[in-house]
Amino acid sequence: AQDGGPRLDQTDGEQRIAIVGGGLAGSLLALALARRGHGVDVYERRPDPRRQDGAAGRSINLGLSKRGMQALAMVGLLEQVLARAVVMRGRVIHAPDGSTRYQPYGRDAGEVLHSIDRNELNRLLLDRAEALPGVRLHFEHRLLRADKARRELELDSPRGRLTVRPLWVAGADGAFSCMRRELQHGERADYHQEYLEWGYKELTLAPLADGGSAIELTALHVWPRSHCLFVSHPNLDGSHTLTLFLPHEGEESFATVRTPEQVAALFRRHFPDLQAMLPGLLEQWASHPTGSLITTRTAPWRFDDWAVLLGDACHAVYPFYGQGMNSAFEDCCVLMAALAARPADRAAAFSEYESARRPHTDVLAELSKANFVELRQKVQSPWFIARKRLDLA
Ligand code: FAD
């Protein structure tokens, strides 16, 4: 505002739905709501990712599975997304001595995962949402406060403070959700958050000079070690996005592996095969940030008929089960179905959505923790391999 103080936005906001967060869940929900004829305003804290070059932002590759695919089919985008994804038919386990073992995801040819660039998927969802007449995207708009009594949102924007009064609001603002905090303020709410003692760093394994892939393209690759772990997802151009999981602190950790010599020693000791394939390793290590991992469980996910949460905002999970985005997308499907089933009672729709989803996402949090142990240890033990052959695992 001109005077720097909050003001009411001069829009027809009262008949429109606000979505806080234009990430994966927020942009998909905007698309789904607009396809049903709703007016939607998406408020995203960051600048428009479509105006930045490819190197900007985190370059996480995600494993898209059946649940996520159903949500993309709901908004008519499945084929376009699959055209940009690489099929992963199984996982390749890399032993410390450089030998590899292939474990197919299933006997059925349809039992595959798809590797997709998170930023590219987000850009596609935003493009498609923006192309619909009811959608307005507001970048660099950060939610500061939600006033439940007045049913208003206060945002920080390039124009100064802004107050909007939407018909209702969906909080899709990620693991450190401001909307969740505001929604639960003054309510009988539960919130549980855990940080993993391990962090992660992403590196890129470049394609070969002829455009081929240095390792099998159509697979997830895992380098399991008891106190560190590499996972890699393939990209269409033959490169792979490698994610190293390592403790934040301790003898061999992000705190102690800092200098070029220390980085080289870590790779020599645990990942000599990868070291040989990563000529720019030291530069990448120095310039790529170290991320943290958190898991959250919370309730309630809704306030009356005015506000509801989805995605990481209400259930952030460790990434080891590869289902965070997929379950955020599934939230969109279940929320849309609940709204369709209860057109005259939004509070009931929100309540049914939460009851349907929360037991599943609580289980997902546990499975994601359990899979951390499996990826590190069990995939390399002879016992696990024997069980896998018998289809017990
Ligand atoms: P986000 O994608 O985090 O989006 C939230 C958005 O809200 C962001 O754009 C943010 O800028 C915005 N925002 C935040 N605060 C505000 C505010 N105050 N006002 C306005 N906007 C705000 N999932 C899978 O399914 N498969 C995988 O293989 C997989 N691998 C992963 C690997 C790693 C290393 C990590 C970290 C995660 C992985 N995930 C995976 C999880 C997946 O990335 C998340 O579950 C998914 O991004 C959640 O989507 P979201 O829209 O809820 O949140």
Domain boundary among 292, 315, 342: 292
Asked whether residue 315 is domain-assigned, the answer is yes
**Token pair for 42:** 């998406």
Q: Which residue's C-alpha comes closest to atom 2 of ligand 1?
A: 23
Q: ipTM, 2 decimals?
A: 0.98
Q: Which atom of ligand 1 is nearest to the CA of 25?
A: 51
CA-nearest of 257, 262, 198, 261 to 231 is: 198
310 and 263, same structural domain? no
Q: Which residue's C-alpha comes closest to atom 3 of ligand 1?
A: 174
Asked whether residue 148 is domain-assigned, the answer is yes
DSSP per-residue letters across 116-171: EEHHHHHHHHHHHHHHSTTEEEETT-EEEEEETTTTEEEEEETTEEEEE--SEEEE
Ligand 1 centroid to Cα of residue 175, in Å, is 7
Ligand 1 centroid to Cα of residue 363, in Å, is 19
Give the global pTM.
0.92
Asked whether residue 348 is domain-assigned, the answer is yes
Asked whether residue 369 is domain-assigned, the answer is yes
305 and 224, same structural domain? no
Q: Which atom of ligand 1 is nearest to the CA of 177?
A: 15
Tally the domains of the chain: 2
Instruction: Tell me the HSE value of 290 on the side-chain side, using a 13 A CA sphere.
Output: 15
352 and 307, same structural domain? yes
Q: Which domain holds residue 227?
A: 194-292
Per-residue pLDDT of the chain (393 residues; tens, 9 = 90+): 334 445 555 455 568 999 999 999 999 999 999 999 999 999 999 999 999 765 444 567 899 999 999 999 999 999 999 999 999 999 999 998 899 999 998 877 678 999 999 999 999 999 999 999 999 999 999 999 999 999 999 999 999 999 999 999 999 999 999 999 999 999 999 999 999 999 999 999 999 999 899 999 999 999 999 889 999 999 999 999 999 999 999 999 999 999 999 999 999 999 999 999 998 999 999 999 999 999 999 999 999 999 999 999 999 999 999 999 999 999 999 999 999 999 999 999 999 999 999 999 999 999 999 988 887 775 555 544 444 444 333
Q: Which atom of ligand 1 is nearest to the CA of 46?
A: 11
